[in-house]
Amino acid sequence: MIKEGTKSPHGMLDDYRCFGQPWNIPFEDIRVPIRFWHSEADRSIPITHAEYLVKIIPNASLRRFGLGSLGDVASGPS
């Protein structure tokens, strides 16, 4: 993400604008099953964010794993 952000900051700035204001989405009205995958060791986004969403979204579940990021899971064991 940082490497791509050095090419052009526009996408990252758009993300930050979205994160810095209310989304006005009624999460409790979501009716499709959702599974969050989150690392216990993620230092970028606290797992409490996913835990909160699982509490307010019906049919949501959380899959925890111990690696540093989802990229570690995608690349598999070394």
What tens digit of pLDDT does each residue of 43-72 get?
A: 778 889 899 999 999 999 999 987 655 555
pLDDT attached to residue 78: 44
Contact by Cβ (8 Å): 47, 73:
no
pLDDT in tens, 8-41: 777 778 777 877 788 888 999 999 999 999 888 8
Total tally of structural domains belonging to the chain = 1
SS (HEC) of the chain: CHHHHHHCCHHHHHHHHHHCCCCCCCHHHCCCCEEEEEECCCCCCCHHHHHHHHHHCCCEEEEEECCCCHHHHHHCCC
* Domain assignment present for 19: no
State the pLDDT at residue 3: 63
76 lies in which domain range?
A: 25-78
Does the residue 50 lie in any domain?
yes
